[in-house]
Amino acid sequence: LQKKWTGVDIPSAQYGGRHAVTMLPGGGIGPELMHYIREIFRFVGAPVDFEVIEIDPSTEGNDDLDYAITSIKRNGVAIKGNIETKSQGLDEVSRNVAIRNELDLYVNVLHCRSYPGIPSRHKNIDVVLIRQNTDGEYAMLEHESVRGVVESMKVVTVENAERVARYAFEYARQNNRKKVTTIHKANIMKLSDGLFLEVAKNVHKEYPEIEHNNMIIDNTCMQLVSNPHQFDVMNMTNLYGTIVSNVICGLIGGAGLLSGANYGDHFAVFEPGTRNTGTAIAGKNIANPVAMINASADMLNHLGHKEHARVIYEATYETVVNDGIRTPDLGGTASSTDVVENILKILARKRVN
């Protein structure tokens, strides 16, 4: 069970001791960030071979998406940039959402920890955000019932609400966390969010040593900005999850720092925590590579290459915190390649045991 809840039992393809991992660069800054990942992995000798699949959202049909999903099903594990969604027509679903749904990646985990020395509103934040990742407000069931009236369905199921609540409480138990807060708007959405909350309360009965409270989403945003230290582990539906993760990442240092992981019972996909495309900053050598590098280290951890993961985390942290080599989003003047070169310089001194 322990393995299951840390995601480690998810099967992964291995050939001659090396892991095969699907790499989806996505749009915007994705390709340049993936280039850095390959450079760093080569440098530390990480035993991973990438199967790189480009998804062009402007092409007709879903061949490249199907190919990507088949590849992740074969390899078990993927690293991913964001696939741009704005160029799509009204009748097309987001490829990002399609990948999560098709692979049943029902939980998104974002560990939000402050970096010392990075200018931020609050210090020492340490919150784990657990988000339902496949239904809720992202059901994409919208229609115009009569002209001028559009309806959008929010779907909450007992099965998915229970899986994500259990993940949150199990995460708390195994990581020595004290409290889970379920986020909702059950005062207004009495049936949908009411069910999500009721399921969480029921699951909590199996975890008496963990405190459980609940908070309305609007108050949560205010509390996060004014007093984020009251939160420990948070459990929430899909749309609240994307809002809250952006609020917390904004409090800590923006889109370029934190990584997020998507887990189902069979597959795992790693990516930057706030899932931005970064179209406006692409190709300028200013994108912060840290979130993607952290995602790649999360992936190595997941595959069991703990030492490779450790040296990459350490070198990245030392670059940003100790050496102060920071891209403009963190108030620095360094380029993306300055950050990566400094990481490689530190990695040259570190040993993979």
**Residues in touch with ligand ATP (CB under 6 A):** 28-29, 82, 84, 86, 255-256, 276-281, 287-288, 291, 329
Q: Which residue's CB is nearer to ligand ATP, number 182 or number 242?
A: 242
Q: How far is the CB of 292 from ligand ATP (least distance, A)?
A: 7
Q: How far is the CB of 281 from ligand ATP (least distance, A)?
A: 5
Q: How far is the CB of 113 from ligand ATP (least distance, A)?
A: 17
Retrieve residue 350's tokens. Answer: 């570190």
Retrieve residue 145's tokens. Answer: 């019932």
CA distance 303 to 292: 17
CA distance 191 to 2: 33
Q: Which residue's CB is nearer to ligand ATP, number 83 or number 233?
A: 83
Q: Which residue's CB is nearer to ligand ATP, number 156 or number 269?
A: 269
Q: Which residue's CB is nearer to ligand ATP, number 323 or number 329?
A: 329
**Residue 42 contacts by C-beta under 8 Å, 6 or more apart in sequence?**
none
Q: DSSP letter at 92?
A: P
Retrieve residue 225's tokens. Answer: 């900005």
Give pairs for 318-322: CB < 8 Å, separation 24+: 318/346, 319/343, 319/346, 320/115, 320/117, 320/118, 320/257, 320/290, 321/115, 321/116, 321/117, 321/118
Q: Which residue's CB is nearer to ligand ATP, number 21 or number 29?
A: 29
Dihedral of CA atoms 291, 288, 276, 34 in degrees, nearest 10, equals: -70
Q: Which residue's CB is nearer to ligand ATP, number 7 or number 81?
A: 81
Q: How far is the CB of 167 from ligand ATP (least distance, A)?
A: 26
Q: Which residue's CB is nearer to ligand ATP, number 192 or number 245?
A: 245
Q: Which residue type does 353 have?
A: N
Q: How far is the CB of 161 from ligand ATP (least distance, A)?
A: 27
Q: How far is the CB of 339 from ligand ATP (least distance, A)?
A: 10
Q: How far is the CB of 199 from ligand ATP (least distance, A)?
A: 30
CA distance 58 to 87: 6
The CA angle 264-267-268, to the nearest 5 degrees, is 85
